[in-house]
Amino acid sequence: MPDLKIAPPRRTPADLVDAVIDNMRQNIEELKYATLAPSRYLVYLAPDEYARLEGIIPRLQAEATRALDEELERLNRPSWIKRQLGWTKAHRAPLENAGPRWHVEFLCDTDHELQDEGDILVHSDLVLAPDPELGVGERTRRITTSHTAQNTTTQERTVRTRDVATPRPFARITWEDQSGQHAYDVASDLVTIGRGGSTFPVDVRIVSSVDVSREHARIRRDTATGQFFLIDLSSLGTTLNQRHVPCGFDEVDGVKRENGTETPVPDGARIGLAETVFLDFTLTP
């Protein structure tokens, strides 16, 4: 008797709204006088799921924004015990929307990152304040939560979103992949490399097999010294001049968090992505 494949459970509209709320709770930034929640959420659905729900997506968006308002109100309300004890002082600043209004989109996964009908992916961005003392400009913390029939995983990334314009590139990256030969001039202090996708925007997009991760590696330039560093964010590893570099993240309870591990990049370096695609890195004279 042939094995019967059990279809994954469908997500109800309420499940999708709950996933947005869960993502919001994980991407909160506490300041001195306010605690900010991200205002923008992108919810990706498998094509079959999107086709099934397409007719009610405007209603889904309205319910998600209502649920976000209610969650802010709930989190800002003292608990029953605190009210009974007369506690009026909050332990953190009030939670508020970081933007003028909520923005929630439900989109079809055209990059085929979601395998089954019940799989969903929620992506939110929260803009972090610049830190002039550390020479760090405006950044965005991205929280991506993936819900499948097997488990739920969360990935946190912080990316530079605003750089001071530079008169010329710092370096050049050249490579060859399945679509031909390419070159990229490095004119910012942070460059992301990988296959990319709907929820993984990258600067250097590699056309390759799935051995190369969606966001495989990152190159960071230290603004004080001009030194470049390589950060491995992949599943199958990154090499620098034929030597494997240490992994740049730790995974605990399904959550990936960057650990700060970086490897200096010399001039004339050769960077390997899963030993599949190789990039040549050279400084601009």
Going along the chain from its start, the domains and CATH numbers come out as: 13-160 (3.30.2320), 171-283 (2.60.200.20)
- Other C-beta atoms within 10 Å of 84: how many? 9
| Residue 65 and residue 102 in contact, taking contact as beta carbons nearer than 8 Å | yes
**Using CB atoms within 10 A of its CB, is residue 97 exposed (0-12), middle (13-18) or buried (19+)?**
middle
How far is residue 249's CA from residue 261's CA, in Å, rounded to a whole number?
Answer: 8
How far apart are alpha carbons 44 and 33 in whole angstroms?
Answer: 33
Cα atoms found within 13 Å of the Cα of residue 85, Cβ hemisphere only: 8
Q: Which residues pair with 190 in a beta bridge?
A: 220
Mean pLDDT of the chain: 85
Question: Is this model's pTM higher than 0.75 or not?
Answer: no
Half-sphere exposure for 125 (CA within 13 Å, toward CB): 17
pLDDT tens track for 50-61: 999 999 999 999
Q: Provide the token pair at 250.
A: 């730790």
Instruction: List average pLDDT for each run of 10 residues in the chain, which is 285 residues long.
Output: 57 93 93 90 90 92 96 84 54 84 90 80 84 59 86 81 62 93 91 85 90 94 94 94 94 82 95 96 91
In Å, what is the CA distance from 240 to each residue of 119, 270, 274? 35, 6, 11
